[in-house]
Structure 1
Amino acid sequence: MEVGSIEREIYVDAPPETVFEVLSTPEHIREWWGGAETDLTPTPGSVAEISWGRGTADEHIGPLTVVEADPPRLFSFRWTYDEGAEAATATNSLLVTFELVPSDAGTLLRLTETGFRENGWEAAVLEAAYDDHVTGWDLYVPAIAAYVARLVATP
């Protein structure tokens, strides 16, 4: 199994400005990313917390660091690193990049997630993390397009 990177591409029927806002603001992130709660600010270098299921047995909370925010064309962050780490780096975290390309009246959204091999995880941990993220992005990338469609359809 190749566990180098995850790539997804989807057409979103809205302009890049709208898609960028949906990808980078807490109130929208909650809607497409499985109820994720975050205090994210789309500013390079800002560190935020992202959580799912807070206060439940399935609670998952972790840090997230914004790497690049270039509205409306690019948004990237590092995540999946130990909260005790001094900073998110290429050797201790995963890099998620959303590239937004104008296409007709909408946006071609390209997601890339890299860094799986660079973390130094043992093979079983690496494969489990990769499989988990593949499953997640298979669900959440289409959810972005569906949420944006509902958002722009609301008067």
Structure 2
Amino acid sequence: MEFGTIEREVFVEASPEVVFEVVSSPDHLKEWWPDDARYEATPGSRGEIVFGDRDAGGTVVAFSVVDVVPPRTFSFRWTHPDGEVAAEGNSLLVTFDLTPSGGGTLLKMTETGFREMGWEVAVLEQQYQDHFTGWDFYLPRLTAYVATLKVRP
């Protein structure tokens, strides 16, 4: 296995504008992915996402917004050391590309940068597998969450 790139495509029954908000807004993001999210959806914004309870051993992960092109693309870097500027080699890059399709949106998620992190092979394999199975768990939650939104025509 290559351990280089993770790609997923899912069809979401909502417009690209709605899906863009769900993948870029911290308030929406924490409904389907992390337990908490704090950042501005503007390029260069730095913040964090939290898995679990921040005050009870939860995992706080640095998060930096890279690209914001409504309603087509949202990308961010994450997993970089707190206090460091996210860049290739110290973080993973996640990109959500949105394409209108029929009555909804084709969402393509790509995560790259695993090999560039400089991890030992065992760590690389473990991190890649964790993210691989993580996206398989979280992306269906995104589509289920969008289905609960009251969207006006």
Whole-Å separation in 1 of the counterparts to 2:73 and 2:101: 15
Task: Please name the residue that 2:79 is paired with.
Answer: 80
Whole-Å separation in 2 of the counterparts to 1:96 and 1:29: 14
Gaps of 5+ in 1: none
Task: Please name the residue that 1:92 is paired with.
Answer: 90
User: What SS class does the counterpart of residue 14 from structure 1 fall into?
Assistant: coil
Question: For each residue in 1:32-87, what CA deviation from the matched residue of structure 2 results, as whole angstroms up to 9, or x when unmatched?
Answer: 11x42111211000001111121223x100111000000000000000111132x1
Aligned amino acid, residue 146 of structure 2? V
Aligned amino acid, residue 41 of structure 2? P
Alignment of 1:29-68 (within 5 A): 29-33=29-33, 35-53=34-52, 54-57=54-57, 59-68=58-67
Q: Report the CA distance shift for 1:118/1:77 in structure 2 as closer, same or farther (over 3 A).
A: same
- What is the CA distance between 1:153 and its match in structure 2? 6.8
Residue 135 (structure 1) aligned with residue 133 (structure 2):
yes
Matched residues, number: 151
CA contact (8 A) 1:24 1:40 kept: no
Whole-Å separation in 1 of the counterparts to 2:35 and 2:112: 21
Task: Please name the residue that 2:108 is paired with.
Answer: 110
Task: Please name the residue that 2:22 is paired with.
Answer: 22
User: What SS class does the counterpart of residue 96 from structure 2 fall into?
Assistant: strand
CA contact (8 A) 1:14 1:152 kept: no
Task: Please name the residue that 2:2 is paired with.
Answer: 2
Question: For each residue in 1:96-127, what CA deviation from the matched residue of structure 2 results, as whole angstroms up to 9, or x when unmatched?
Answer: 00000000110000000000000111111111
Gaps of 5+ in 2: none
Alignment RMSD? 1.3
Aligned amino acid, residue 20 of structure 1? F
Q: Give the TM-score of the pair, scaled to structure 2.
A: 0.94
